[in-house]
Structure 1
Amino acid sequence: MPRPFPPFEPDPQARRRRFQAIPVRLLIPNIVTLLALCAGLTGIRMAIEGRMELALGAIVIAAVLDGMDGRLARMLQGTSRFGAELDSLSDFVCFGVAPGIVLYMWGLDTLGSIGWIAALAFAICAALRLARFNVMLEDPNKPDFASNFFTGVPAPMGAICVLLPVYLELVGLPRLVASPAVAAVYCLAIALLMVSKLPAWSGKKLGARVPREAVLPLFVCVALFVAVLVTWPWAVLALLTIAYLALMPLSVMRYAQLEREYLRATAAGGTEEPLAGDAPTSSPVAVDLDEGRPDRLN
């Protein structure tokens, strides 16, 4: 009599195929992303404990690591869909949740529910910004010049900018200059910039090729910048934030100029012609930083 429930013996070849070894180059970018996530979570802890300087430092470190993981993925050819999803989740925590909590613990809590609504709005806008970024990657009609611009302020830069009131207080300015009420309005303004359709220059194509004679001066400038940042971190971050926001109108005007040139070239020739100063790309979206893996300043 045959057994009603015969034992199941899986195909050993199928098992071997399922558990293939994963190349290390696929793991390194994801490890860097996890380190960024750890930095963001540590920033939340430092804010809850009242150690604002360490909280800000952790968020800045998370932003640096976020810029590294995608470039490592591109160099190592270690892109993956898993890495893309992990990066989006990490970005939401590091650049949506953590800055909102830091601001709330810094002074928005004195406003009661209004302060919490401002912090909540920033986190929600960061999530919407990241979701829109992922969806727009699938746009096949995106012109080449548009790949050098983000739609709205990217999430890491939004996180750095929204903490400007804390920088100003750490520099030594009295809280009257950046009061919690002003900080709440400013937080909402940055949140709206993140979900807006304003083109923000990404700088992806800047420095793709460096002249040989400029290599050593570049090294010196980078070393000096790091030294100044470490010596006067809050003053440098405050100046960078103000400069970035001040240059937004120039980014909008440059995008409008490139768009007009693109439309004229398309109308004249029927096909897109490369624009001056914009290197042609092989696809409408520069693939790789973090996802499958597009440049991920989100």
Structure 2
Amino acid sequence: MRAVIPNTVTALALCSGLTAIRFAILGNWEAAVLMVLAAAVLDGIDGHIARLVRAESRFGAELDSLSDAISFGVAPALILYLWSLQSLGRFGWLVALIHALFCALRLARFNANIDREQQPHKSAGFLTGVPAPAGAGLALAPLYLWVWIEEPVLRSPPLVACWSVLVAVLMVSSIATFAPKVRLRRNIRFEAVAVLVVLVAALVSAPWPTLAVLAILYVGSIPFSVRSYRRVTQQRAATALAASAPEPPAP
């Protein structure tokens, strides 16, 4: 029975993704985006709940991946298609398919590597590529800006298509990205809580500017994550070389 709670949260995330598609069909773009974000929040806490109640299971992991494929692959693809890409005809549908397919490929790669002992990115505290929830959030960035600024250019199908394909490639890429887990020292935990409160307040009071800024900051962090991972690998290589070097003979 303990497994019911986290699996129910995962199912709610799946329902949120499907509801986002419904709102997109009705043309309610703001509600559609909010449903995708709600799915991301639920996806972020279901694993923590499973570990808290000691109900981790292979079934839960598979259900989580299926939910992610719909909520962060299919739902954003259909939202962008109905919002902008359908003006491109078959090419616009192809772009939507690329986002959904690449998200599924990323999740399949993640599941295939769960039991692998050698995972260089994970062992160094990084992720491989852009995770599915972040990919969905980045793909919808033109919609955030369009709602915020009300600039018609941001709804341009060629612009949305190029951005969607770029985000899809980032999801299946092998670049190192920062993991969301952050370990804080005790002397700065209060400051971290204050920053979190400010962030939540900004999301509530001005959601679209906040989401747009977060998307821009995340994209800007990718070069720094790649450089940080390269530095970690160089340090590891230097340590391994020093450990394997023969000791000088005693005088």
TM bucket by the smaller chain? Answer: over 0.9
The one of 138, 153, 164 aligned to 2:130:
153
Query: Equivalent residue for 1:236?
Result: 210
> Could you say if the C-alpha distance between residues 46 and 249 of structure 1 is closer, same or farther in structure 2, counting changes exceeding 3 Å?
same
Query: Equivalent residue for 1:254?
Result: 228
The one of 194, 198, 219 aligned to 1:245:
219
What is the rounded CA distance, in whole Å, between the counterparts of 1:250 and 1:32 in structure 2? Answer: 33
Identical positions, percent: 43
Q: Is residue 121 from structure 1 mapped to residue 95 from structure 2 by the alignment?
A: no
What amino acid is the match of 1:228?
A
What amino acid is the match of 1:264?
A
Query: Post-superposition shift, 1:48?
Result: 0.6
Query: Post-superposition shift, 1:138?
Result: 2.3
Query: Equivalent residue for 1:81?
Result: 58
What is the rounded CA distance, in whole Å, between the counterparts of 1:104 and 1:259 in structure 2? Answer: 40
The one of 154, 157, 163 aligned to 1:180:
157
Query: Post-superposition shift, 1:141?
Result: 2.1
Aligned residue pairs: how many?
A: 244
What is the rounded CA distance, in whole Å, between the counterparts of 1:240 and 1:192 in structure 2? Answer: 20
What amino acid is the match of 1:263?
A
Query: Post-superposition shift, 1:178?
Result: 4.4
TM-score by length of 1: 0.78
Instruction: Give SS of 1:200's match.
Output: strand
Query: Equivalent residue for 2:193?
Result: 219
Query: Equivalent residue for 2:4?
Result: 27
What amino acid is the match of 1:72?
I
TM-score by length of 2: 0.92
Segments of 5+ residues of structure 2 without an aligned counterpart are 245-251
Instruction: Give SS of 1:203's match.
Output: coil
What is the rounded CA distance, in whole Å, between the counterparts of 2:38 and 2:25 in structure 1? Answer: 18
Query: Equivalent residue for 1:4?
Result: none
What amino acid is the match of 1:123?
A
Query: Post-superposition shift, 1:71?
Result: 1.1
Query: Post-superposition shift, 1:35?
Result: 0.8
Query: Post-superposition shift, 1:268?
Result: 2.2
What is the rounded CA distance, in whole Å, between the counterparts of 1:144 and 1:57 in structure 2? Answer: 31
> Could you say if the C-alpha distance between residues 267 and 138 of structure 1 is closer, same or farther in structure 2, counting changes exceeding 3 Å?
farther
What is the rounded CA distance, in whole Å, between the counterparts of 1:64 and 1:252 in structure 2? Answer: 26
Instruction: Give SS of 2:30's match.
Output: helix
Query: Equivalent residue for 1:200?
Result: 177
Query: Equivalent residue for 2:247?
Result: none
What is the rounded CA distance, in whole Å, between the counterparts of 2:83 and 2:62 in structure 1? Answer: 31
Query: Post-superposition shift, 1:224?
Result: 2.0
Query: Post-superposition shift, 1:75?
Result: 1.8
Query: Post-superposition shift, 1:210?
Result: 4.4
What amino acid is the match of 1:269?
A
Segments of 5+ residues of structure 1 without an aligned counterpart are 1-21, 271-298
Query: Post-superposition shift, 1:265?
Result: 1.4
Larger Rg: 1
> Could you say if the C-alpha distance between residues 114 and 223 of structure 1 is closer, same or farther in structure 2, counting changes exceeding 3 Å?
same
What is the rounded CA distance, in whole Å, between the counterparts of 2:191 and 2:102 in structure 1? Answer: 39
Contact 1:145 1:258 (C-alpha < 8 Å) held by counterparts: no
Contact 1:168 1:178 (C-alpha < 8 Å) held by counterparts: no
The one of 102, 106, 109 aligned to 2:83:
106
Contact 2:9 2:42 (C-alpha < 8 Å) held by counterparts: yes
Which has a greater percent of helix? Answer: 2
Instruction: Give SS of 1:176's match.
Output: helix
